[in-house]
Structure 1
Amino acid sequence: MSEKPSDDEPSASELPDDVWEQFIRDAERDSRASAPKEPSARARMVTERLRQQEARGEVPPGWRTGPAWQETNGRAARRRKLWAVLGVPLAVAVALVALKPSLLPGDPFGTDGSAASPLPAETATPSAAPGATDPETPTLDKPFAGSPALRWADGEAGIVLPEAEAVGPVPKDRVEQALKLTKKLLVGANLDPKAVRGARPEAALSVLDPKQPDLLDNLGTALRSPSRKHDPVTLFSRFDPDEVRPVGDVIKTRGRMTFEKGTQGGVAVHADYTFVYPVVRADGPTEVTRTIVRRVLDVELADPARYQVTQGRLLLMEYDQEIGNSSCDVYDGYLHPEFPSSAPTGAEPSGPTTDPYDRSKDIDHDQDECGTVSRT
């Protein structure tokens, strides 16, 4: 039910003519943008009078069409047409940039190698090798460009220890000690800056049990007088400082560590890690290449109450390695990365092509021939 109008509100017949004339002009101007409304009798009367005045030349031209509004609407229409033309290509461009921001020049969003989202820690054997990456050339600023290792953790952050728990009679704290000692061995052998630059890996050696028959003697011989039989790179990542130098301070790391009851009354730890080293020549050129080293170690923290071992030292039960992009059959105690612009040194590769980033497979112990890598 409608309410009765207030006596104080003016009726349509009481409104001045100039107000109605303005209303008619506004109504005509907005007619294209709004639905037509049925005018009142008063409005029809005023409209008819305006038409008669227009016919006599008494009303300025444009009261009905509004030239200023037409001009404005024309510009708006052109803008709408322009956006209609640009809309689809612009939407496509935005979608492409969203999928691959590096398409924009200058990397305005900071999407270089340093901003790539890191992978979660590896907790199980991967089901396949890492997927293909953009074939970007590594540089001094982006040494991991084009590498799956771009999203790997940096250095020690990539060696994530599993949560320790008791194993049979071995208490939790002994398990935790074994895990920490294994990490110290990995860091000292593969990440210590001095050792990587060719110095003696003292930190790694300090973790190993001196009572283990011949182990430290053989390693000492390998470091002093490297040969095919005694080659230190089977356990330590070392580069000749006169040949190459590292690019920056970051070595990419990925792998995992597990533990179980050992055979020497203690806890056995299995470690499987891959390290990626970007380097340049020591003589000045800025061409960047990478060497990839995968190391698999089996160590044990034995029970000193039952065995002739040193408290707080590890027995190195077994170790193996797989090296990608290093000269074949060179036994001088160093890794020798090969650069794309240089001819290979050492023996001509005759073995199969492998992916050094593939952590889904075990190291091939039966492969003695020098092979090639599918990527670095």
Structure 2
Amino acid sequence: MPNGDDLDARFNELVAQIDEDERRRMRAAASRGARAPRSDKATRPRRAGRGLLAAGLVAAVIGGATVIVAARPDLLTPQAGSPGPVPEETQPVMAAPEATGAEIAAPKPTALDPFTGSPAEKYAEGAAGFVLPKAKALGGLSKKDVAKALERTRELMTAAFLDRKTLMGGKPKAFMKLLDREQRVWFQKSLDPKKGKDDFDSRSWVISFAPKTAELSSDVIKVNGKTTVTKAKKYGRSGAEVKLNYLVVYAVNRPGQPATTIRLVTHPAGSVFVYREAGELVLWLRDWGSSSTPARCDVDDSFIHPYYDDSAPDAVNPSGPPSDPYDLDEEKRGKKDGEDKCWASDPT
């Protein structure tokens, strides 16, 4: 793996490859998908725009005026000699599921009993909900390699979606230390850009409530979904792709106000490309992010701002028919790529 100096040099080289016209075009592309949902309840898709890395998980920090490299995935990819350019792929952004027409009639949550009567009541608790398939040899990887990759993916999900410090808006150290070194350097440089800059914020890879907006009403966090693994070939390498598709449900309230408890549903999804390089097993995250509801849509950052029953009206109105926040079927999710909207959701 390249050292820190090599990575810094690569970032400087990227600057020379992108002229000002292209920078403006990429800023516009990133901002078009950057906003989304409050609840109407409504769903905020944090994978859109700032919540999305384009094909091959290829984003780079460019000089002082940072931009997301969405149109040039060849500029930063995992390195192994000279693998050549990464083929262009089209990765749809996370969109809210289409309406099911069914309202979820669950009792109002309380700090003592936040999940009763909701679909989350039957979900597993915490990391036990991250269910892994049986490992088998595929894509040139041994059964032992695949088993190790699946366990490391579970560790990544646990750090990204369950770590208490990260959830409360702290630095996501538990998640960072699990990343491949090259991605870790990028993640650190892209984390929490200064306000007002049109930069990609890598915090969208984890679940973090905006500081001073929420506290956990319960130590119990509900998890439901699936992990799948298939053979894959990317960047000219053979390996396996681990895909995650989950619902993680939190009970949160305004700090010091347990009577404001709500259920907040997030939908993390993404994939991890696994391959061997120089004798090491490498996990490279791709298209990793989440949507959430009920959350404000009129705050433009990568934190979740919960929308409580007594919250002021959101400045952005949700659109479309209400969707089921507990629907895991991604095939039903509308393709909202490039649309700057909030999407309506049934109550959680």
Q: What SS does the aligned partner of 2:319 have?
A: coil
Match of 2:262 in 1: 289
Question: In the alignment, is residue 267 of structure 1 matched against residue 240 of structure 2?
Answer: yes
Question: In the alignment, is residue 278 of structure 1 matched against residue 278 of structure 2?
Answer: no
Match of 1:252 in 2: 222
Residue from 136, 149, 166 that aligns with 2:107? 136
> Structure 1 150/219 Cα, relative in aligned 2: closer, same or farther at 3 Å?
farther
Cα distance in 2, alignment partners of residues 345 and 154 from structure 1: 32
Q: Is the 8 A contact 2:266 2:292 kept in 1?
A: yes
> Structure 1 293/160 Cα, relative in aligned 2: closer, same or farther at 3 Å?
same
Deviation string for 1:312-366 (max 9, x for gaps)? 4411122242222110142233201111233333422234422111112334442
Residue from 322, 330, 345 that aligns with 2:299? 330
**Structure with higher RCO (Cα < 8 A, 6+ apart):** 2
Cα distance in 2, alignment partners of residues 241 and 260 from structure 1: 38
Residue from 182, 207, 212 that aligns with 2:178? 207
The amino acid across from 1:193 in the alignment is: R
Cα distance in 1, alignment partners of residues 321 and 204 from structure 2: 20
Higher strand share goes to which structure?
2
Superposition pairs of residues 1-376 of structure 1, within 5 angstroms: 134-212=105-183, 216-218=185-187, 220-225=189-194, 229-263=199-233, 264-305=237-278, 311-362=280-331, 363-366=333-336, 368=339, 369-376=341-348
Cα distance in 2, alignment partners of residues 375 and 219 from structure 1: 35
Cα distance in 1, alignment partners of residues 347 and 203 from structure 2: 21
Bigger Rg over Cα: 1
Q: What SS does the aligned partner of 1:211 have?
A: helix
% identity of equivalent residues = 32
Cα distance in 2, alignment partners of residues 273 and 222 from structure 1: 24
Q: What SS does the aligned partner of 1:182 have?
A: helix
> Structure 1 162/285 Cα, relative in aligned 2: closer, same or farther at 3 Å?
closer
Q: What SS does the aligned partner of 1:146 have?
A: coil
> Structure 1 201/234 Cα, relative in aligned 2: closer, same or farther at 3 Å?
same
The amino acid across from 2:254 in the alignment is: R
Cα distance in 2, alignment partners of residues 266 and 259 from structure 1: 10
TM-score by length of 1: 0.59
**Deviation at 1:134?**
4.3
The amino acid across from 1:221 in the alignment is: S
**Deviation at 1:221?**
2.2
The amino acid across from 1:169 in the alignment is: G
**Deviation at 1:233?**
5.0
Q: What SS does the aligned partner of 1:270 have?
A: strand
Q: Is the 8 A contact 1:338 1:344 kept in 2?
A: no
Deviation string for 1:264-301 (max 9, x for gaps)? 32221111111111101014352211221111111112
The amino acid across from 1:266 in the alignment is: G
The amino acid across from 1:371 in the alignment is: W
TM-score by length of 2: 0.63
Q: What SS does the aligned partner of 1:266 have?
A: strand
Q: Is the 8 A contact 1:329 1:346 kept in 2?
A: yes
Cα distance in 1, alignment partners of residues 102 and 228 from structure 2: 25
**Deviation at 1:220?**
3.5
Cα distance in 1, alignment partners of residues 198 and 317 from structure 2: 17
> Structure 1 300/204 Cα, relative in aligned 2: closer, same or farther at 3 Å?
same
**Deviation at 1:224?**
4.5
Q: What SS does the aligned partner of 1:302 have?
A: strand
Cα distance in 1, alignment partners of residues 299 and 104 from structure 2: 30
Cα distance in 2, alignment partners of residues 329 and 236 from structure 1: 20
**Deviation at 1:164?**
0.6
**Deviation at 1:133?**
5.2
Cα distance in 1, alignment partners of residues 315 and 289 from structure 2: 22
The amino acid across from 2:160 in the alignment is: A
The amino acid across from 1:374 in the alignment is: D
Q: Is the 8 A contact 1:129 1:357 kept in 2?
A: no
Where in structure 1 are there 5+ consecutive unaligned residues?
Answer: 1-127
Deviation string for 1:122-144 (max 9, x for gaps)? xxxxxx97986543110011111
Cα distance in 2, alignment partners of residues 359 and 271 from structure 1: 11
Cα distance in 2, alignment partners of residues 228 and 321 from structure 1: 20
Deviation string for 1:86-114 (max 9, x for gaps)? xxxxxxxxxxxxxxxxxxxxxxxxxxxxx
Q: How many residues get paired?
A: 243
